[in-house]
């Protein structure tokens, strides 16, 4: 009996020793990971020479690296060849951070779609602040993005009509014209305005215009590619006839796996100020693109206010079409309330 008791005690000591070794190994591994930090992958669809990449992505990732004391490094892949897969990539963890436009998500984030409707938002800054607060309070948005955290949401400047073959100064000039838009809402509006609306993903705008697929694009100067084949530009003032929404998203498990102080670094580099930085990057490109068009002698005109007003019935008709799908009125009311605040 004494021998059996000694063997039991020895076995217990051995198990305790093994547990201590395993715990020590895990602690050592955690300490090593903490010392070396974490490396994240960021993907976005715009080229590396774009203003967004140069003026926002690079400074933003460098600031995070600095704020984290070198313990967060972000590897950036610009010009992503599959922009319509970026939402899946960040939800599933194939990317830690992505920047993408709502239009490429295939209607999977319907709670944010009201912000893209014509004449709903008034400027990029207030719209972006409203969207961030809206996302924070919207259970529907959180559910549709399950697996991803919204770091920032934003819009860009008011769109213009960039035409290939001739000027557009009247609302009636849209009749029968093939006009591209990057958003479903924009295409509904153009259809109601008498145009032939064409779906053009953001990454294909330059190609579509160069290959004579379109008569023009409804797009902000901020998003117009350099050298786009459109020598006629009609600006409808501040009227936002189309208002693409863009999202900066992070894989939720990546965030939750960070140490608390590194989570704070991410939090401090998220929200309205980050959205404002993205808007500034796009605005810099928009101003440069507009000036370059003027320097080339291209024709820039402002649409008369009465002609812009003639587009209001088309916007109202498309809104009625859009609201036919169930549940959208509640989302529209919530978006309007957020914008009013």
Residues 323, 229 within the same domain: yes
Higher pLDDT, 282 or 210: 282
Name the token pair of 54.
């140069």
- Note whether residue 22 is domain-resident: no
User: Do residues 51 and 109 both lie within one domain?
Assistant: yes
Q: What is the pLDDT of residues 36-46, one digit of tens each?
A: 589 999 999 99
Q: Do 239 and 254 lie in a common domain?
A: no
Share of the chain above pLDDT 70, in %: 89
Which tokens is 158 given?
């008011």
* Whether residue 167 is found in the same domain as residue 195: yes
Q: How confident is the model at residue 138 (pLDDT cuts 50, 70, 90)?
A: confident
Q: Residues 153, 250: one domain?
A: yes
Name every residue whose Cβ is closer than 8 Å to that of residue 21 and which is 6 or more positions away in sequence: none
Question: Is 75 in the same domain as 220?
Answer: no
Instruction: Name the residue range of residue 319's domain.
Output: 159-243+297-340
In this structure, the answer to whether residues 50 and 194 fall within a common structural domain is: no
Find the range with the poorest average confidence among 21-25, 230-234, 299-303, 308-312.
21-25
Exposure class string for 117-142: b at 16+ Cβ within 10 A, else e: bbbbbeebbebbbbbbebbeebebbe
Rounded to whole angstroms, the Cα distance separating 188 from 38 reads 44
pLDDT at 11 over 70: no
State both tokens at 212: 């004579």
What integer is the mean pLDDT of 190-208?
93
Decide if 2 is inside a domain: no
116 domain residue, yes or no? yes
Would you list the DSSP string of 207-254? HHHHTT--SEEEEEGGGPPTT-S--EEEE-TT--S----EEEEEEHHH
Q: Are residues 249 and 265 in the same domain?
A: yes
Chain mean pLDDT for the chain:
88
Q: Work out the average pLDDT over 233-246.
A: 94
Residue 223 lies in a domain: yes
pLDDT of residue 203: 84
CATH code of residue 152: 3.40.190.170
In a domain, 68, yes or no: yes
Residues 149 and 73 in one domain: yes
Residue 250 lies in a domain: yes
Say yes or no: 194 and 279 in one domain: no
pLDDT band at 26 (very low <50, low <70, confident <90, very high): very low
Same domain, 52 and 135: yes
Is residue 331 in a domain? Answer: yes
The 10s digit of each residue's pLDDT in 300-329 is 999 999 999 999 999 999 999 999 987 799
Residue 266 placed within a domain: yes
Those residues whose C-beta lies under 8 Å from the C-beta of residue 174, and which sit 6 or more positions away, are 168, 190, 193, 194, 195
* Number of compact structural domains in the chain: 2
Residue 36: predicted pLDDT: 57
Same domain for 59 and 87, yes or no, is yes
Given a cut of 60, is residue 204 above it in pLDDT?
yes
DSSP state of 112: G
């Amino acid at each position: 009996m004494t021998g059996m008791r000694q063997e039991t005690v020895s076995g217990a000591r051995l198990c305790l020793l093994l547990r201590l070794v395993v715990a020590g190994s895990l602690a050592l591994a955690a300490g090593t990971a903490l010392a070396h930090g974490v490396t994240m992958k960021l993907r976005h669809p715009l080229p590396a020479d774009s203003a967004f990449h140069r003026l926002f992505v690079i400074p933003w990732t460098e600031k995070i690296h600095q704020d984290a004391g070198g313990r967060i490094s972000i590897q950036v892949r610009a010009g992503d060849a599959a922009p319509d897969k970026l939402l899946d990539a960040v939800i599933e963890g194939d990317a830690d951070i992505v920047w993408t436009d709502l239009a490429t998500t295939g209607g999977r984030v319907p709670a944010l779609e009201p912000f893209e409707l014509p004449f709903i938002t008034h400027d990029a800054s207030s719209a972006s602040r409203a969207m961030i607060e809206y996302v924070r309070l919207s259970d529907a948005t959180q559910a549709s993005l399950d697996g991803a955290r919204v770091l920032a949401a934003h819009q860009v400047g008011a769109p213009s009509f960039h035409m290939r073959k001739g000027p557009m100064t009247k609302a009636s000039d849209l009749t029968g014209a093939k006009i591209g838009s990057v958003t479903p809402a924009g295409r509904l509006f153009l259809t109601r305005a008498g145009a032939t609306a064409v779906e053009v993903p953001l990454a294909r705008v330059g190609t579509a215009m160069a290959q004579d697929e379109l008569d023009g694009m409804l797009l902000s100067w901020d998003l117009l590619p350099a050298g786009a084949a459109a020598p006629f530009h009609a600006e409808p003032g501040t009227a936002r006839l189309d208002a693409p929404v863009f999202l900066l998203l992070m894989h939720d498990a990546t965030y939750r796996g960070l140490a608390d102080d590194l989570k704070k670094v991410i939090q401090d580099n998220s929200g309205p100020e980050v959205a404002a930085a993205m808007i500034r990057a796009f605005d810099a490109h928009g101003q440069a693109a507009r000036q370059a068009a003027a320097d080339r002698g291209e024709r820039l005109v402002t649409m008369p206010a009465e002609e812009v007003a003639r587009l209001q019935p088309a916007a109202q008709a498309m809104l009625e079409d859009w609201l036919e799908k169930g549940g959208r009125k509640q989302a529209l009311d919530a978006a309007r309330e957020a914008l009013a605040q």
